[in-house]
Amino acid sequence: MITSGLSGYCEIRHKKTGERRRVMEMHCDSLRPDVHFSCDMFQSLLSYGVLSLEYVHDAQFTHENNQLDFRQENSIPDTLVPIGDGGSKNQSVGRLGLSFERAIVMVIYEKLLLSAYVSIRSLRAMGSTLPVEMWFKRSETDVNHPLLKILVADYGVYLREIKEDRVTRFYTKLHAIYYSAFDNILLLDADNFPVRDPIYLFETPEFVGNGAIFWPDYWKPGNTLFNIHRNSFVWDIFGLDYANMFEQESGQVLINRRMHMPALNVLMYYGFSQPRIHEDMRLVWGDKDLFRFAWMKTESSFYMIPRPPGSAGTKHPDYDLFCGLTMVQHDPSGEIIFLHRNTEKIETANDQLLWTHIQQFKPTSKIENYSVRASNVRNYFTHFRGCYGKDENYRNLFTLKPIDSFSFSGLERSLLRYARDGASLINVTSAE
């Protein structure tokens, strides 16, 4: 049995010719801890990438069927349909045209509903008219939940049910992308908050020309939590050449689905073929890098945002220390567009303002010098589970600016207000 910490290779011999060949060459750091395999698994392991290109997830798939399912699930006839009560309750929401050109796609379960409600309230307050296609599983979400009902009635949300039992965890996001009724989609985590209406992203040259925009994670070869680097076994299993680039963060993904069906089928192979070798061998974390790997495998075009993520969080009052609590993502022009609150969630019991400062990598700093960490700073920030970003000695490479210096300085207050509104709706319904 071959385990992490070992180096070497497997050798195979052709039965007829006797030719010998080395396969699955490993370095001491190729695998994560507690992962193992044997040489007699070489065929199944090395065929994983080959078979991904042959996979068709749904032989009956058509975009028209997706749109028909959408209409039927939401009782929409073949005409323009007003949202809610005709828009009188929320004038910022217009009408959904049946061109199905673009939308925001979210996947929720009941514990995420408050965050989703807050996010959509914020989007509508910014004037966004993008329809929101919200996917859920009936086993995880009460369709009569008061927040769901008001989102559908007043805020341009359209529900889509995931009915397949095998679609679970982060693979629900892959299912939602594949079966969305819309051609161009912004997949958005429910705890990810745009600082402005994101509709302009669909018109950027980077999206129009490539049909996909991906966003970087904090991690890259040389500084990775997930063992993705030159020596990683991930490249052999996926059948890819090593790419010296940032890992991907999938809290937001922008895709032209019609342009990229080959990549989407490979993505679904990664998600739903059995066994899930990449998961069994802990080669990637969740779904986050599966997008770029599917696009790389099919040689499909995508644009990776070049500016690395920053952090929104809190500066210590007494020491020159920073605790990043929210991932900051940028648009193709380098301006802030998303605040992904993926550590300290929006909750009714947590109404503290956390975004006092924003830390960003300086445009003049060399990208090879970008290095952040997940730090445990309980001695200094006792009420947080941990911090992400450059917590100390950051001034040479990073800026740290007060939130008041940004145009969206009032966003967190608005989000917390929407959270209180949502909690009130839940409490009123529970009391009835």
This prediction's pTM: 0.93
How big is the chain by its Cα radius of gyration, in Å? 23
CATH architecture of 48-305: Alpha-Beta Complex (3.90)
The Cα-based distances of 131 to 66, 74, 374 in angstroms read 16, 13, 35
- At 167-203, the pLDDT tens digits run 999 999 999 999 999 999 999 999 999 999 999 999 9
* DSSP notation for 94-141: -EE-TT--EEEEEE--GGGHHHHHHHHHHHHHTT----EEEEE-TTT-
DSSP state of 321: -
pLDDT over 90 at 379, yes or no: no
pLDDT over 70 at 88, yes or no: no
> How much is the average pLDDT of 347-370?
92
DSSP state of 406: S
Q: How far is CA 100 from the centre of its chain?
A: 22
Preceding peptide of 275 cis, ω within 30° = yes
* DSSP notation for 188-244: E-TTEEESS-GGGGGGSHHHHHHSEEEEE-S-BTTB-SS--STT-THHHHHT-----
Where do the H-state alpha helices sit in 260-338? 261-272, 277-280, 290-297
- The answer to whether residues 195 and 337 touch, using CB atoms and an 8 Å cutoff, is yes
pLDDT over 80 at 93, yes or no: no
What is the model's pLDDT at position 378? 63
- The answer to whether residues 28 and 6 touch, using CB atoms and an 8 Å cutoff, is yes
Q: Which one, of 404, 312, 413, lies nearest residue 355 by Cα?
A: 312
What is the model's pLDDT at position 350? 73
Where in the chain are the domains?
Answer: 1-46, 48-305, 310-425
Q: How many secondary structure helices (H) and strands (E) does the chain include?
A: 12, 21
**Separation between Cα atoms, residue 427 and residue 147, nearest integer Å:** 11
What is the model's pLDDT at position 380? 85
As beta bridge partners, residue 36 has 3
> How much is the average pLDDT of 31-57?
93
Q: Which one, of 308, 351, 346, lies nearest residue 330 by Cα?
A: 308
Highest mean pLDDT among 22-31, 204-213, 422-431: 204-213
Highest mean pLDDT among 6-10, 67-71, 263-267, 314-318: 263-267
The Cα-based distances of 279 to 44, 250, 284, 286 in angstroms read 14, 17, 7, 8
pLDDT over 80 at 352, yes or no: yes
The Cα-based distances of 119 to 235, 297, 312 in angstroms read 36, 33, 17
DSSP state of 113: H
What is the model's pLDDT at position 184? 98
pLDDT, mean over the chain: 92
pLDDT band at 347 (very low <50, low <70, confident <90, very high): confident
**Separation between Cα atoms, residue 59 and residue 62, nearest integer Å:** 9
Which H or E run contains 46? Answer: helix 42-46
Which H or E run contains 357? Answer: strand 357-361
pLDDT over 70 at 207, yes or no: yes
Cβ count within 10 A of residue 395: 11
As beta bridge partners, residue 338 has 194, 329
Q: Is the dihedral of CA 121, 72, 135, 216 positive or negative?
A: negative
Preceding peptide of 131 cis, ω within 30° = no
pLDDT over 90 at 98, yes or no: no
Q: Which one, of 278, 222, 284, 214, lies nearest residue 248 by Cα?
A: 214
pLDDT band at 79 (very low <50, low <70, confident <90, very high): low
> How much is the average pLDDT of 8-28?
92
> How much is the average pLDDT of 88-101?
50
Q: Which one, of 367, 363, 357, lies nearest residue 391 by Cα?
A: 357
